Structure 1
Amino acid sequence: MWLTSTVRNGWRQLTSMRTALVLLFLLAVAAIPGSVLPQKRLSPEKVAEYAQNNPSSAPWLDRLQLFDVYSSVWFSAIYLLLFVSLVGCLVPRFRTHIVALIRVPPNAPKRLERLPEHADGLPHDGDLAATAERLRALMRKRRFRAVVREAGDGYTVSAEKGYLKETGNLLFHFSLLALLIGMALGGLYGWHGNRILVRGDELCNSLQQYDEFSPGSRVDKEDLPRFCMSLVDFKASYLDSGQPSAFRARMGYEVDGRSGERRVAVNNPLRLGPATAYLLASGYAPEVRYTDRTGKSQTITAPFLTIDDAMTSQGVLAFPDANIGVRDTTYGPTGKVQVAFDGTYLPTVPENVHVGKSAFPEERDPRLMLRVYMGDLGLDAGTPQSVYEINQAQIGNGLLRPVGDAIALRKGESATLPDGSRIEFLGTRPWIAVSVRHDPGEELVLVGAVLLVTGLLGSLAGRRRRIFFRVTPGGVEAGGLPRTDYAGFTAEFEAIVRDAREGAGPDGELVRPATGGHDSGVPGGDAVLRG
């Protein structure tokens, strides 16, 4: 008995709405570390960097699973408890609401004068049954569910309205439940990856080809669907003010044995079977040819990241295989003569070139500004490095050194470096950033979000109230009871009483009692309930 009572009380507490709200708050709080701390599934290299910079706290944070929040035991426990709490809370309320919708309004209380709103002295038509039927028709005209009952020496009329409030409330919470299910499906079986594609590049759906990849908890690399896509061309249009007006990419694809090309825009993604590729950003990728002191030439195309709305771009052009076999300690103690260029690309050079920012995002008068570094790039150490900036640690340690003055090149121009090597600016290619996503719960989340707003509006707009009439030989008495806070209930009750006194409906049309069989507002019911 003790165990049964404890389990029953625990279940009652878990399935209360107060507990559900507390768990929802805890879920929001528990998600904060996932936004503040780097996560293993999103960026393992940042987790390693954090552990290197914080050797004392990182092991404890790792034991608490704070680097893998959304797959942790404690986050999953809160999520599941919230799910169970909502189900246990909503199912009984749903059952009760269905019963309330089917059941006829309750009988009028004996003492109507005790209700918040009361009126008496209303006339009747001489025929008590006809008067009761007229009042029922009046309430039905106002969209109340109404029923007439025989009571002692007269009749009672019970009318009720405002079920939309509870319906909206339940719809809101069931939609919240659908959102939780949809997000759980996305977290377990969804995945997304990001990649920068330069014109001519191809991306096939494998883990190694993404710049960033985030799989769901139940997703394995073998589960990824097979498809490929490539950037054929990209065009951007700008207004005279420099504001972008359109971005259009022409992309080739191969999926499910089909291949072709399609135009992709910001709000027009590319469908690839169960996945979708979205266009996120764009920019310029300078193409340069470097000829080292041994006469070996290398050509690379490197995407530069934009830093302002005028498409001023910055990046690095690295040549780790330059000057192989050459040893020169002028640029560092290791004797390596690797070469890198720290570059800034201006699609349109301003009148004052020293400003260092483009005057317009379109290529009208492009210029590539380069700063030369030679020495050891540090790529052989095995430590991950950014491909968009030079390793400042190598410069600080004296292993990589700046050489000569800055260089400014137009398309087709070249420059000779102090060691006799040459750099040539061949032109640019456009690049785009694409995000490839698969979320099996996105449709459920969308439907849940729409229904959630609909339910919220219904819950706020609905106001449940009851109106009662008692028809006796001495006259007609009315009473009103609001079931929820409703500031306009008094005015509505007075309008109903006025219409009942005048014998007219809300539209001014005379309401006359029906003859023969009557509808009580309940399927299969009679206008008069006896006994």
Structure 2
Amino acid sequence: MAYRPAGLRTMDEAQDMPPQSPAPAGIGVRGWLRWAWRQLTSMRVALLLLMLLALAALPGAFIPQIPQDPAGVATLRADRPQLATWLERAGLLDIYAAPWFAAIYLLLFISLIGCILPRTKAHITALRAAPSRVPRRLTRFPVRDTHTTTATTEEVTRAVRRALGRRFRVAVTPEGISAERGYLRESGNIVFHLALVGVLVALGAAQMIAYRGQAVVVEGRTFANSLVDYDTFTPGSMVTGDDLDPFTFTLTELTSRFTVDAQARDFAARVVVTEPDGRRYEDTIRVNYPITAAGANIYLAGNGFAPHLTVRDAQGQVAFSQPVPFLPEDDFYTSRGVVKVPDVSPGLDQLGFTGYLLPTALAEEDGLRSVHPQPNAPLIVLDVYTGDLGLDQGIPQNVYQLDTDNMTQVMDGAEEVKVLLAPGEEVELPDGLGTISFESLPRFAAIDLRYDPTLPLLLISALAAMAGLSASLFAPRRRLWVKTTQDEAGHTLIEAAALARGDDPGLQRELERVMTAVRATTPTTPEDT
């Protein structure tokens, strides 16, 4: 009889076999959904989404955004209309309101919640559970110690519990003493991630309900919390003009103190605030010390001079008369400013002036310069332009820049005309263009107003994140076991071991501290090891 290995079938036998069952079906829709949920709620995906969110926000630093820079967006549409159209379709002109940015933000939020909830549940279960059982063989642990004493098992147990204190969770079982500490590490980790969720909630809510604006307020003028009084305004996605609380404040005086060598010492803006309920009070805004009105913080972001200039056109009509803020450019408050005079008499060219204000002017061989920021000898130096200011084209302009593309600078032969003005002086412009006079020299305050009710939540979340991160990094996770047995002579044999999660330089000292307390119970026997 020929040998045939077990399980080997001939072709005839294979044909007589019953048909095989079909291959198992796929995991199905529920299986795919369960797999997708597990992937989404993993910490790896949460970190990837956090990185993706940061990358998605980067274009906002290079591309003008509609809420923050409408003038830049208008310029982009005028200069490069096709590119602006594609950017707008992709949501890159208002990134934070784009659907794809909201989707990343929402997925990150869901991912963090999905990561935290199971870990929190498992952590609470571990906190309620008893410490781990005492291992059978403590000799396999590298950090261990033994001791023989005449003390009883009860005395040893009391000594161990006193040494461990409240820092350890202790369980006394027939196998021995089991103690562990370090749950604060996982608690801190969970607090950190919960705080991160709080930060995301605060930032997301701020994008919807917070607003921020900047304005320049001249002494004697009143600022009203309305859209028309802001120079720049950045609203949340749900903020409209009707949502602004109707408070006002009047800048009565702005004072400054400088040393002899022009070092700034103090700036103070004295204001009279009128709350929405009609209550009036005086207050002072200082650098880094804002005031609060109707829940909005008002900061003093800058200051300077706003000389009051009056311009009369060639027909003697007052075409311009108001304070003009000049922006400081150095420590001596050498300030640059622009005067635009569009409202001249019919048939006359519009006027434009650009130049510098020198608070304490000093004439030197190479020209004029300011030697101190206080207005000890103020002087204005202006260049004169005539033509079309470009204000009728519908494109927003920077009030601190003069568009000279359609203007001509006034010349005196081959030299540029320079107009020098001191307080109280009036100067006739060349070519019969009119006159310009320097009426007075008030100061201005650049204020930064921010309304954000989510700031307390953001602060609490940030502090909680720091506390949780510190606990998760520095709280050691340790386990310690002590076993006691009795020998034939009635002595108590003590065997102890300790274990840490990761490298822990203090683990050996922890065990030595416990064993020192044990050795102090009674004198040791000659068999002490």
TM-score (norm: length of structure 1): 0.87
Which residue, 315, 327, 333 being the options, matches 1:294? 315
Residues 423-446 of structure 1: CA deviation (Å, up to 9, x unaligned): 221221111111221112111001
Give unpaired runs (5+ residues) of structure 1: 328-335, 505-509, 511-531
Which residue type is aligned with residue 425 of structure 1? F
Q: Could you tell me which residue of structure 2 aligns to residue 84 of structure 1?
A: 110
CA drift at 1:352: 2.0
Choose which of 51, 58, 64 in structure 1 pairs with 2:90. Answer: 64
In structure 2, the CA distance between the partners of 1:5 and 1:381, relative to structure 1 (3 Å rule), is: closer
CA contact (8 A) 2:216 2:446 kept: yes
| Contact persistence 1:136–1:148 (CA under 8 A) | no
Task: Say which of 143, 150, 159 aligns to 2:174.
Answer: 150
Q: 2:72, 2:101 → 1: CA distance?
A: 22
Question: What count of residue pairs does the alignment treat as equivalent?
Answer: 485
2:424 is the counterpart of 1:412: yes
Q: Please, which moves more after superposition, 428-437 or 259-268?
A: 259-268
Q: Displacement of 1:307 after TM fit?
A: 1.3
Tell me how far 1:356 sits from its aligned partner.
4.8
**Contact conserved, 1:283 with 1:305, CA < 8 A, in 2?**
yes
- In the other structure, the counterpart of 1:223 is 243
Q: What letter is aligned with 2:495?
A: E
- Alignment pair present for 1:401 and 2:426: no
Alpha-carbon shift at residue 468 of structure 1 (Å): 0.3
Rounded Cα–Cα distance in structure 2 between residues aligned with 1:264 and 1:304: 21
**Corresponding residue for residue 303 of structure 1:** 325
**Cα deviations by residue, 1:65-109 (Å, 9 ceiling, x for unpaired):** 011111111111111111111111112222222233333311211
CA contact (8 A) 1:185 1:439 kept: no
**Residue matched to 2:22:** none
2: CA distance, partners of 1:57 / 1:500: 79
Could you say what secondary structure the match of 1:293 adopts? coil
Q: d(CA) in 1 for partners of 2:293 and 2:218?
A: 19
**Structure 2 contact 163–513 (Cα < 8 Å) conserved:** no
Aligned equivalent of 1:434, options 439, 447, 468 = 447
Q: Does 1:38 align with 2:64?
A: yes
Q: Which among 211, 231, 246 is matched to residue 211 of structure 1?
A: 231
Mapping for residues 82-231 of structure 1, pairs under 5 Å: 82-120=108-146, 122-140=147-165, 143-151=167-175, 156-231=176-251
Aligned residues of 1:373 and 1:403 also touching (Cα < 8 A): no
Query: 1:205, CA displacement in angstroms?
Result: 1.8
Partner Cα distance (2:222, 2:409) in 1: 35
Q: C-alpha separation between the residues in 2 aligned to 1:414 and 1:206?
A: 36
2:52 match: secondary structure: helix
Amino acid at match of 1:107: R
Aligned equivalent of 2:14: none
State the secondary structure of the residue aligned to 1:261. Answer: strand
- 1:488, distance to aligned residue in structure 2 (A): 2.7
The correspondence for 2:515, drawn from 497, 502, 523, is: 497
CA deviation vs aligned residue, 1:181-204 (integer Å, no higher than 9, x gap)? 111111111111111111122222
Describe the superposition over 1:275-299 as per-residue Cα deviations: whole angstroms up to 9, x where unpaired: 2221111110111222322122342
Amino acid of the residue matched to residue 493 of structure 1? L
Which deviations, in whole Å up to 9, do the C-alpha atoms of 1:350-401 show, x marking residues without a partner? Answer: 3527455421111111111111112222223333222212112223xxxx33
1:296-339 superposed Cα distances (whole Å, 9 cap, x missing partner): 234221111111222111111222223x13x4xxxxxxxx3222
Residue matched to 1:27: 53
Q: Which moves more between the two structures, 199-208 or 175-184?
A: 199-208
Question: What residue identity is the alignment partner of 1:394?
Answer: N
Q: CA separation of 1:70/1:355 partners in 2, compared to 1, >3 Å: closer, same or farther?
A: farther
Q: Distance in 1 between matches of 2:210 and 2:253?
A: 29
In the alignment, structure 2 segments of 5+ residues that lack a partner are: 1-26, 488-492, 524-529
Aligned to 1:361: 373
Q: Which moved more, 1:363-372 or 1:270-279?
A: 270-279
Higher Cα Rg, which structure: 2
Q: 1:353 to 1:390 in 2, by over 3 A?
A: farther
Structure 2 distance, partners of 1:439, 1:189, is 7
Identity of aligned residues (%): 37
What's the secondary structure of 2:405's corresponding residue?
Answer: helix
State the TM-score, normalizing by the size of structure 2. 0.87
Deviation, structure 1 residue 126 = 4.5
How far the C-alpha of 1:249 sits from its partner, in A, is 0.6
